[in-house]
Structures are given as structure tokens and as C-alpha cells.
Amino acid sequence: MNILVVGLSHKTAPIDIREKITFPADGIDTPLRKIMNLPACSESMILSTCNRAEIYVAVKDPDKAAGHIKSFISEYKSLPLSKFNEHMYVYEGEEAIRHVFRVASSLDSMVVGEPQILGQIKDAY
């Protein structure tokens, strides 16, 4: 099983794109259920803040799963993939683990050291 992260952040996407890809916390159950029904995804988590939207999944086939997740975002948000694909990043395995630790420790935040992101990760989990 591999860990896969598909997302975008303040480093890769302008705010108008980030606003279109967010997943509000009060309705997170619906997209989570849909992701769990995607082929190749066995566990999932959505981290959606004002500066990032990331989907974390446990998968057997990372390449296939990344494509399914991008298609899911496009369909769920009614936004053509061509509008946001260039802003997306995909990390797998050790790179994905390194990324989540950088995010959790706020090394990947707009303000390094801000404490909110760790709580947001806990809530997402």
C-alpha cells in the first residue's frame, strides 16, 4: 500500500483557483465517501484550508489513483481539469510522508511556525 497526496497550495495556485477547489468542513463527508468509492483508494483524508486543498489516500496503484482523484475533483467541483491541473502536485510514498510532516510542522505554510495547521490536520484525520 502506498500513501499518495494530490493537491494544490499557495505555492502552486493563485487564490482564485484555490477558492474553487476548497472542501468546506461542514460538508466533508460527501466528498470523502465519493473518494472512498474511487477505484484503487482504500483510505482517505481531505485537508482543506484557505491556503491548500489536499487529498491523502492509501492506494495500490498511485498513478491510476492520481488520475481518478483529479477527475473526481473536476467532476465534483464542475471545473474542467485544464483549469487547475497545472497547479496540482502529486506526491507518493516517502515524498508524501515528507510533505505531510512539512505541512504539519508549518514549514510549508505562508507563515512558518503558525500553529493552526496542526489542528487542521488533526480535524481532517
Task: Check residue 115 and give its pLDDT.
Answer: 73
Strand, helix or coil at 9? strand
Confidence tier at 12 by pLDDT (50, 70, 90) = very high
Confidence tier at 111 by pLDDT (50, 70, 90) = confident
String of b and e for 30-54 (b: at least 16 CB within 10 Å)? ebbeebeebebbeebbbbbbebbbb
Catalytic residues: 50
Residue whose C-alpha is closest to residue 69's, from 92, 97, 94: 92
Q: What is the pLDDT of residues 43-83, one digit of tens each?
A: 999 999 889 999 999 998 898 999 999 999 999 999 999 99
- Average pLDDT score over the chain: 91
Q: DSSP secondary-structure letter at 42?
A: E
Q: Which CATH architecture has domain 2-96?
A: 2-Layer Sandwich (3.30)
Q: For the beta carbon of residue 27, count every other beta carbon within 10 angstroms.
A: 9
Q: In the predicted model, is pLDDT for residue 1 greater than 90?
A: no
Amino acid (one-letter) located at 94: E
Task: Check residue 116 and give its pLDDT.
Answer: 80
Bridge partners for 89 per DSSP: 7
Confidence tier at 10 by pLDDT (50, 70, 90) = very high
Task: Check residue 117 and give its pLDDT.
Answer: 79
Q: In the predicted model, is pLDDT for residue 114 greater than 80?
A: no
